[in-house]
Amino acid sequence: MTPLLTAILIATIISGTPLVIAALGELVVEKSGVLNLGIEGMMAVGALAGFAVTYHTGQAGLGILAAMLAGMALSLVFAVLALTLMANQVACGLALSIAGLGLAGFLGKPYEALSLPQIHPLPIPILADIPIVGTIFFHHQILVYVSWALFAAVMVFLYKTRAGLLVRAIGESPHSAHAIGSNVIAIRYAATLFGGAMAGLAGAFMSIFFTPLWDERMISGRGWIAAALVVFATWRPARVLIGAYLFGGVMILQLFIQGSGWQISIPSQFLSAMPYLATILVLVVISQNRRTIRLHSPMSLGVSYRPD
Amino acid sequence: MIALQLRESPSKQMVWLSPVIALALTLVICPLIFAALGKDPWQGFAVFFLNPFSSAYNLGEMMLKATPLMLIGLGLSIGFRCNVWNIGAEGQYLAGAAAATWVAISFAPMGGGVSLVMMGLAGMVGGMAWAAIPAFLRSHFNANEILVSLMLVYVADLGVSWLVQTPWRDPAGFNFPQTIQFADGFMLPVMFNGLRVTWVFPLAVILLGVAHVFMRHSYLGFQMRVAGQSEAAARYAGFSLHKTIWVGLLSGGAMAGLAGMAEIAGPVGQLTDKISVGYGFTAIIVAFIGRLNPIGIFLGSLLMAAFSLGGEQVQQYLGLTSSIAKAFQGLLLLLLLGCDVLINWKIKLKSS
């Protein structure tokens, strides 16, 4: 395996990680029947909170915690509007994205042009020493491993636990779930807050580990791509993971093409547009098959529920 | 205990009172935020909310900023009425601006406003072409128009960036990413000397009326309203849902494209990579707060323009960043969605 290919794979994993985290969070939210399109806003606020707290305390751990709390705070606003007050979920999600980006842009002004010290990757003992595989998979920032643990946890939770079954049941038919005695609104609140925490965590990965700096436009559509990934994955966690890394790969491809020294006369803007065009392409391919979508999407997705 | 009780029918008064209550709450919260930022709350309030109305120049600026918001909000409202969620108006605005620029830099100016009409039409065609992509993908492949139109915002932004950096860059512009300054014949005349607001402002007001007549009194408008209220009813009546998707998206695209043209042929005077300032997103708030109604959109766009101007005033006089306006706009939108619960529900005090 050539060093270039190894480098591409490592970079793919890194650039796919925020997508993995945010999209898995959104997956759980949507499994419970709630469509929160505010990921972009929650990621932005999470990125800022993570950056600011890490900047002032010097503790990345506290920054991560702050980012998750910030994401949860925003998702709580969404939950109150969409779940308690039964407002239109699409409109609330959009509002959350607009408000989140506005808030982050405003509060983040003093932090523009600042940067954090680079955090060294955390090699996993023994595993990191395996040739090639160790370099590609076990020589990462801590949140990369966290994202894998998150994937395993979401898999087990959704498909192997009673609570996960309940979440899925509520996403399919909240009225039936209510009839057997579960508290639909409370569980949807919990799922929404979890999604918010994950969006915040994804934002923290961007601002503390990935860049590491704060810029108003740093999320640049990743939250929306994460929302698209859930559709692309037809609400299945394993496909979310694969999809996130595919998009991670597309996102860093341009850097390698630009850095490779190949004489390609493609404008850099075209390469930068690739992830967005790829999202559209994938949505078209997946959505075309209405039966697959109908079969896998939670039946009550985006529909308000009123217990009575 | 406070509890919600379902109304027998949605309250017509609350449809209009809800934005007023949301605005009132924003006005109450605003001084608190200034206080939290360590500023005198009343001074902050006055600079943010009152300064925009304090001089002829500021009122002119408010009308100038309201123009694209009114146009885009109007276009979006047609789609929103039939549940076509065009979130990519910012991209359509950029596409319209680019198409209009092509006219301005490719042709010699013609008299009698012909050049401007050409630019306006090019802007609308550019915006419609950009909106046609999500319309086609939604109607033929069932692809979600929210995500597709939004992704195209980023693509349009990169496209404009390429245009002004490579083929259309002003050779005498010291390598700045911008086109040449447009000739006078390609510049919109201002309404009043000394102010920057152009004649597109009254045009936007007229278009609001046209859109109202279309939605209220045309058969197609009726079909779209039915589709918005009940897709099943529309399908049962034999109305084409494809048609509502196309009309919904193309009207948004056309108005956003025209707004893009009005921006480059008005206050900016050239195409640069900085013309995307978020009008397409703020116009979503305008459409919501204006209840998708022409009078509401007229007032909503002036209000959002006042917020933007207030942000600039706050930056100038209090040393805060102007993006505080975006935070207030977002806050107002969230409060509005919360207040909208009162349309269908009554608040009841239960004694427990």
Per-residue confidence band for A261, with pLDDT thresholds at 50, 70 and 90: low
DSSP-derived letter for residue A116 is P
pLDDT band at A171 (very low <50, low <70, confident <90, very high): very high
The separation between the first and the last C-alpha atoms of chain A, rounded to the nearest angstrom, is 61
pLDDT digits (tens, 9 = 90+) for A264-297: 677 888 888 999 999 999 999 988 888 888 888 9
Q: DSSP label at A115? A: B
Q: How confident is the model at residue A263 (pLDDT cuts 50, 70, 90)?
A: low
A280 and B152 in contact by Cβ < 8 A?
Answer: yes
For A88-129, write each residue's pLDDT tens digit.
899 899 999 999 999 999 999 899 889 898 888 889 888 888
A280–B137 CB contact, under 8 Å: yes
Shortest Cα distance, chain B CAs vs residue A139, angstroms: 32
The amino acid occupying position B186 is: F
Rounded Cα distance, B234 and A254, in Å: 46
Better-scored residue on pLDDT, A255 or A85:
A85
Kindly list the residues from chain A whose CB atom is less than 8 angstroms away from the CB atom of residue B323: 102, 105-106, 109, 216
Taking contacts as CB-CB distances below 8 angstroms, the residues of chain B near A95 are 285, 288, 330, 333-334, 337
**pLDDT score of B148 more than 60:** yes
Res. A82: pLDDT tops 90:
yes
Q: What is the pLDDT, as a whole number, of residue A264?
A: 67
Contact B341 A227 (CB under 8 A): no
Q: Is B310 left (phi over 0), alpha (psi -120 to 50) or beta?
A: alpha
Q: What is the DSSP string of A200-267?
A: HHHHHIIIIIIS-B--TTSSTTHHHHHHHHHHHTTT-HHHHHHHHHHHHHHHHHHHHHHHT-------
* pLDDT score of A149 more than 90: yes
The arithmetic mean of pLDDT across residues B161-167, rounded, is 94
Q: How far apart are CA B116 and CA B186, in angstroms?
A: 6
Residues of chain A found within 8 Å of residue B324, distances taken between Cβ atoms: 106
Q: What is the pLDDT of residues A46-66, one digit of tens each?
A: 999 999 999 999 999 999 999
Q: Are the beta carbons of B155 and A276 separated by less than 8 Å?
A: yes
Return d(Cα B15, Cα A270) in angstroms, integer. 45
Chain B contact for A296 (CB, 8 A cutoff): no
The residue of chain A nearest to residue B332, with distances taken between CA atoms, is A99
Q: What is the CATH number of the domain that holds B203?
A: 1.10.3470
**What is the nearest CA distance from A201 to chain B, expressed in angstroms?**
22
Beta carbons of B311 and B322 less than 8 angstroms apart: yes
Query: Count of domains in chain B?
Result: 1
pLDDT top residue among A266 and A258 = A266
Give residue A181's pLDDT: 87
Distance between CA atoms of A42 and A201, rounded to whole angstroms? Answer: 9
Residue type present at position A41: G
- Rounded to whole angstroms, how far apart are CA atoms A151 and A27? 11
Cβ-based contacts of A288 with chain B (< 8 Å): 141-143
- Label residue B14 by pLDDT band (50, 70, 90): confident
What is the C-alpha to C-alpha distance for residues A216 and B52, in angstroms, rounded to an integer? 26
Q: How many CA atoms lie within 13 A of B281 on its CB side?
A: 20
Beta-carbon contacts of B230 under 8 Å, excluding residues fewer than 6 positions away, are none
The sign one gets for the Cα dihedral A30, A36, A42, A43 is positive
Report yes or no: B329 at the A interface, CB cutoff 8 Å. yes
Determine the structural domain holding residue B95 and report its residue range: 2-349
User: Which tens digits make up the pLDDT trace of B300-325?
Assistant: 999 999 999 999 999 999 988 888 89
Average of per-residue pLDDT across A84-88: 89
Per-residue pLDDT reduced to its tens digit, B239-256: 888 999 999 999 999 999
pLDDT score for A254: 75
From the CA of A151, how many Å to the nearest CA of chain B?
Answer: 24
Q: What is chain B's mean pLDDT, rounded?
A: 92
Instruction: Look at residue B111 in the predicted model and tell me its pLDDT.
Output: 77
Q: What is the pLDDT of residue A200?
A: 98
Both tokens of B160, joined, read 């404009």
Residues 26-45 of A with CB under 8 A from B: 37
Question: ipTM above 0.85?
Answer: yes
C-alpha distances (whole Å) from A1 to each of A5, A14, A76, A133, B278 are 7, 19, 47, 10, 46
Partners of residue A280 in chain B, C-beta under 8 Å: 133, 137, 143, 147-148, 151-152
Interface test with A, best of B7, B148, B150 (most A CBs within 10 A): B150
Q: What's the number of CA atoms in the CB half-sphere (13 Å) around residue A238?
A: 2
Interchain contact, B334 vs A102, CB within 8 Å:
no
pLDDT: is A41 or A307 the higher one?
A: A41
- B207 φψ region: left (φ > 0), alpha (ψ -120 to 50), beta (else): alpha
Name the residue of chain B whose CA is nearest to A223's CA: B147
B37 touches A: beta carbon within 8 Å:
no
Q: Does B32 touch chain A (CB under 8 A)?
A: no
Could you tell me which residues are beta bridge partners of residue B178?
B272
Query: Would you call A103 helix, strand, or coil by DSSP?
Result: helix
Task: Please indicate if any CB of chain A lies within 8 Å of the CB of B333.
Answer: yes
Contact A259, A23 (CB under 8 A): no
Q: Do B338 and A85 touch (CB under 8 A)?
A: yes
- What local confidence, expressed as pLDDT, does residue A308 receive? 66
User: To the nearest whole angstrom, how far is the Cα of A123 from the nearest Cα of chain B?
Assistant: 36
